[in-house]
Amino acid sequence: MTDSLLVNTSPHLHKKESVKRIMWLVTLSLVPCGLAGIFIFGLGALWIIVLAILAAVITEFVLQAATRRRITVFDGSAVLTGLLLAYNLPADVPFWLPVVGAIVSIAIGKQVFGGLGQNIFNPALVGRVFLMASWPKYMTTFVRPLSYDAVTSATPLAALTEGKALEGISYLDLFLGNRPGCIGEVCILALLIGAAFLLLSKYISWHIPLSYIFTVGLLSYVFGAKTLFAGDWFSHILSGGLILGAFFMATDYVTSPLTYKGQFVFGIGCGIITVVIRLWGGYPEGVSYAILIMNAATPIIDRYTRPRIYGS
Amino acid sequence: MVRLEDNKFYTADKPLEALPLPAKVYIPLSQHLGKPCFPLVKAGDCVSLGQKIGSADAHVYSLVHSSVSGRIKAVTDWPHPVLGRAKVVVIEADDSCGPQRIDYSLREDVDKLTPESIKNIIFDSGIVGMGGASFPTHIKLNPPKPVEALIINGAECEPYLTADYRLMLEKTQEIIKGIELVEKCLGVKKVFIAIEDNKPQAIKAFRRFNYNVFVLSSAYPQGGEKQLIKSVLNKEVPRGKLPFDLGVVVHNVATVFAIYQAVYLNKPLYERIVTVTGSIVNKPKNLLVRIGTPIKELIAYCSPLKEDPAKIISGGPMMGIAQYSDEVPVIKSTNGILLLGKKEAVPLQEEYCIRCGACVRECPAGLLPCMINLASERSIWQEAISYGALDCIECGVCSYVCPANRRLVQSIKRAKLEAVR
């Protein structure tokens, strides 16, 4: 009997939780806004999503096989990266675009660092800014909602950041997603359903999303118009990729701080950079860059927001 | 801190029961923190129940007594539940050497004993902290400065274990008398009996006495000395210091019961209560066991098992030690034997850390277990220490919550060892 005893260190009890489960649950929480995106922009959006996911998974598989590491494509993390990348694309980009983006996301954003958990930057956003820098025209040409044809249209955020008032788009339109934009970012209602699921099941905490969104709201209210304290802060919150970014990308475990205190700082930093880019930068949208820049700041935030050791 | 499934239902209702006298006992000469004892006996000697068989020439140590009347077979190396292998005195029970059971009579002049003489009796009885740390009790009763608060630890926050719980139910009066003795030794005014709220019966039992019962919320590791002090007194033991420095002393209920037996009955510490439990055990029990009894005898007494154990743990599932042999004896700090079946004892695949922060949030010591782990894996010991490796209490919460099954506790223990070098 004693020959077959398992001897290892305590604890001998483990919570029923796994990386795989977390990744698939986050993916699940992103389904509502994807469905909304497909409904709003047509079946083209579905193909973009499918292609991005397939390209991400295949890239991960090939790289892991080539470097003879354990194949982990079913842990859901590559699927999640592909999905998030697709959600950050307009619905009528050429079909090769999500494929290139996903390859960059997985290869440059994730695997060169050593794979899941090792990367410094959010892989989906690495792919997105690569596409943005390489093919800006495709990345800023948006489909008009519910018309299912590729009539291009300016996003409400572009108008907002130029200091114009929004015409013909109500808060309700913004909330439901009746506006041009990227596939996964437009329907705030669907995003909030997914976010509520993640918050209630404690897979994410409120610290990053709340501090991020609050900072954007506050700064866009103060500086968002010609005179101080007159900005349309509510539209700033509802438009662009803020809600998608704040709940689903800034909260990425791997690239955000470990402690609540650090996450708070991270969220505020994201908020400031987002508003600076939106109001004074060359791009209408700053969520991707804000999160990536704060990803780079994560180690230093972690350093200064360590928990207090018992008895010190 | 985390809430765990306590799984105490297996044995919570099982009354204390004496394990039949084993044919042989293997009594380790090191069952305490401090210097191991040397044997006072040699092969062939006859010893009687409760006779002193081990002593040491040091400041920090605890005496060892025989748990049977019998003949010494050998003094030899033998599997040890904590140390791996250590010196034991092997004694074969033999009625011609003395009685195997003593009907102790109650001492009547206890009130007249001075604190000094009480402490001497406790030292002579070989009492150590029975909650797990095995620190010699007489030293904990000799504080370098005045003690303001005494906490009696009845938390028993480890899942599965009910040894302390049954003791609190069945020996309440005796524990109270033991507490009085400790109070007298320490000259302390404030006394708290701390019990987790998942033991309402025990709370009720102690409420009948004129003592302050402090009800703890059931959270692990609530019963850790430092966590207990924080919960009860809202004070923290400064880093690198002892509870003494705060004017606080913590004693486990089982230790206090042993103190009662030593002083009132003149009975040295040679038996204790051990919970034998697990989902594969058909007849889980709370057993009164002679120190030195091989755990296979306890397992046999609770058999048949539903399947062969895949893991044998001495202690609870969170801090207990997996055993490589069922020959290891019960020692003074053995509060439970937990048997896990095949399905419960699966080695888990370790994944990369995804920095989810669960270990950081739950760590009761305020450390960054995931970062210590990374530093330890790369042998950067200085970095590991800077993340607080030396403050780790090894409660196991980090490894418990980790979704990537990182061997956090293991790597922190490693870092601690390397740091000392």
* pLDDT (tens digit per residue) in A76-130: 999 999 999 999 999 989 999 999 999 999 999 999 999 999 999 999 999 999 9
Question: B258: which 2 tokens?
Answer: 């042993």
Which of B82, B399, B412 is the mutation pick for testing A, counting most A CBs within 10 A?
A: B399
Contact B323 A254 (CB under 8 A): no
Give yes or no for a contact between A268 and A304, defined as CB atoms under 8 angstroms apart: no
Give yes or no for a contact between A22 and B420, defined as CB atoms under 8 angstroms apart: no
Kindly give the pairing relationship between strand A152-153 and strand B84-93: unpaired
Give yes or no for a contact between B277 and B10, defined as CB atoms under 8 angstroms apart: yes
- Sheet architecture: strand order including B52-55: B38-39, B52-55, B64-65
Question: Is B69 within a domain?
Answer: no
Q: DSSP per residue over B122-144, as a string?
A: HHHTT-B-TTTT--BHHHHTS-S
Question: Is B142 within a domain?
Answer: yes
Tell me the C-alpha distance between A203 and B261, whole Å.
51
Which parts of chain B have pLDDT scores under 50?
A: none
Looking at the fold, whether B247 and B143 belong to one and the same domain comes out as: yes
Residue B166 DSSP one-character state: H
- Point out the domain boundary residue: B209, B230, B265: B265
| Residue that wins the pLDDT comparison between B295 and A144 | B295
Residue type (1 letter), A79 = V
Beta partners for residue B293, in sequence order: none
10 Å CB burial of residue A150 (0-12, 13-18, 19+) is: middle
Contact B400 A11 (CB under 8 A): yes
A260 vs B contacts (CB less than 8 Å): 361
Q: How many CA atoms lie within 13 A of B211 on its CB side?
A: 28
pLDDT confidence of residue A40? 94
Tell me the C-alpha distance between A21 and B413, whole Å.
29
Contact B322 A8 (CB under 8 A): yes
Mean confidence (pLDDT) of chain A? 93
Question: Peptide bond before A307: cis, by omega within 30 degrees of 0?
Answer: no
pLDDT confidence of residue A161? 74
Q: Which residues, at least 6 apart from A155, have a Cβ–Cβ distance to it below 8 Å?
A: A142, A179, A180, A181, A239, A240, A284, A285
Q: Which residues, at least 6 apart from A1, have a Cβ–Cβ distance to it below 8 Å?
A: B308, B309, B326
Question: Is B260 within a domain?
Answer: yes
Total number of domains constituting chain B: 2
User: Angle at CA B24, nearest 5°, toward B23 and B30?
Assistant: 150
With a pLDDT cut of 70, the percent of chain A lying above it is: 96
Nearest CA in chain A to B390: A309
Of A18, A260, A311, the CB nearest to B403: A18
A310 vs B contacts (CB less than 8 Å): 226, 230, 236-237, 239, 364-366, 391
Structural domain including B382 reads 358-420
Looking at the fold, whether B249 and B383 belong to one and the same domain comes out as: no
Q: pLDDT tens digits, residue range B30-58? A: 999 999 999 999 999 999 999 999 999 99
Question: Is B323 within a domain?
Answer: no
Tell me the C-alpha distance between B76 and B90, whole Å.
8
Nearest Cα neighbor of A220 from A173, A169, A284, A170 is: A284
Contact B360 A307 (CB under 8 A): yes
pLDDT confidence of residue A158? 80
Question: Is B159 within a domain?
Answer: yes
Question: Is B382 within a domain?
Answer: yes
Contact A12 B340 (CB under 8 A): yes
> Domains, chain A, ranges and CATH?
21-302 (1.10.3430)
Of A5, A117, A260, the CB nearest to B324: A5
pLDDT confidence of residue A151? 60
Question: A133: which 2 tokens?
Answer: 């820098």
Question: Is B179 within a domain?
Answer: yes
Backbone angles phi, psi at B329, to 5 degrees: -85, 160
B391 vs A contacts (CB less than 8 Å): 309-311
Axis-axis angle for helices B408-420, B369-377 (nearest 10): 60
pLDDT confidence of residue A2? 61
- Point out the domain boundary residue: B265, B282, B309: B265
Give the pLDDT band (50/70/90) at residue A150: low
Q: Which helix (H) or strand (E) holds B184?
A: helix B172-186
Q: Which helix (H) or strand (E) holds A28?
A: helix A19-29
Q: How many CB atoms lie within 10 A of CB A234?
A: 14
Axis-axis angle for helices A77-87, A31-41 (nearest 10): 40
The distance of A84 to chain B (nearest Cα, Å) reads 18
Looking at the fold, whether B251 and B116 belong to one and the same domain comes out as: yes
Q: pLDDT tens digits, residue range A230-258? A: 999 999 999 899 999 999 999 999 999 99
Question: Is B35 within a domain?
Answer: no
Kindly give the pairing relationship between strand B311-314 and strand B52-55: unpaired
Residue A247 DSSP one-character state: I
Nearest Cα neighbor of B158 from B2, B294, B295 is: B2
B280 vs A contacts (CB less than 8 Å): none
User: Angle at CA B392, nearest 5°, toward B389 and B398?
Assistant: 100
10 Å CB burial of residue B52 (0-12, 13-18, 19+) is: middle
Q: What are the distances in angstroms from CA B280 to CA B6, B9, B10, B304, B313?
A: 16, 14, 11, 9, 13
pLDDT confidence of residue A1? 55
Contact B366 A309 (CB under 8 A): yes
Nearest CA in chain A to B322: A7
| Contact status of B131 with chain A (Cβ, < 8 Å) | no
| Contact status of A202 with chain B (Cβ, < 8 Å) | no
The distance of A30 to chain B (nearest Cα, Å) reads 19
Question: A271: which 2 tokens?
Answer: 């908020």
Count contacts between A and B (CB, < 8 Å): 159
pLDDT confidence of residue A153? 67
When mean pLDDT is compared across A141-150, A196-205, B158-167, B185-194, the lowest value belongs to A141-150
Tell me the C-alpha distance between B257 and A132, whole Å.
73
Q: How many CB atoms lie within 10 A of CB B189?
A: 11
Which of B237, B387, B400 is the mutation pick for testing A, counting most A CBs within 10 A?
A: B400
Average pLDDT (A33-57) is: 96
pTM: 0.94
Give the pLDDT band (50/70/90) at residue A305: very high
| Contact status of A306 with chain B (Cβ, < 8 Å) | yes
- Point out the domain boundary residue: B265, B294, B316: B265
B312 vs A contacts (CB less than 8 Å): 5
pLDDT confidence of residue A162? 72
Looking at the fold, whether B253 and B366 belong to one and the same domain comes out as: no
CATH of the domain at B233: 3.40.50.11540
